[in-house]
Amino acid sequence: MIETENQVNIPEIKPIFVNNLSQLKESKFPNNKCDTIDNIDFVSLPPIENIDDFTWREGKYVCNRTYNDNFKTYILSVYEGGDYGPMTILYNCKKDSVLDSKMIYQVGSCENNYEHKYSTVFLNDSTFVITLKSQSMAMDSMAYLPDSLDYSLKTEQYEIASNGGFRLINETKRNWRTKK
DSSP letters for 144-177: EEEEEEEEEEEEEEEEE-TTS-EEEEEEEEEEEE
Alpha carbon 61 to chain centroid, angstroms: 14
Domain with 53, as residue range(s), is 11-179
Domain annotation covers residue 2? no
Domain annotation covers residue 24? yes
In terms of average pLDDT, the best of 31-35, 108-112, 173-177 is 173-177
pLDDT tens digits for range 90-99: 999 999 999 9
pLDDT of residue 103: 95
Domain annotation covers residue 85? yes
Domain annotation covers residue 5? no
Task: Round to whole Å and give the CA distance between 17 and 96.
Answer: 6
Place 114 in a pLDDT band, splitting at 50, 70 and 90: confident
Domain annotation covers residue 88? yes
Q: Do residues 151 and 175 lie in contact, with contact meaning Cβ atoms separated by under 8 Å?
A: yes
Task: Classify the C-alpha dihedral 77-79-85-90 as positive or negative.
Answer: negative
Task: Round to whole Å and give the CA distance between 75 and 60.
Answer: 9
Domain annotation covers residue 3? no
Alpha carbon 144 to chain centroid, angstroms: 30
Place 163 in a pLDDT band, splitting at 50, 70 and 90: very high
Domain annotation covers residue 126? yes
Computed over every residue of the chain, the mean pLDDT equals: 90
Half-sphere exposure of 87 (CA within 13 A, CB side): 17
Domain annotation covers residue 78? yes
pLDDT tens digits for range 15-62: 999 999 999 999 999 988 789 998 888 999 999 999 988 988 899 999
The total number of structural domains in the chain stands at: 1
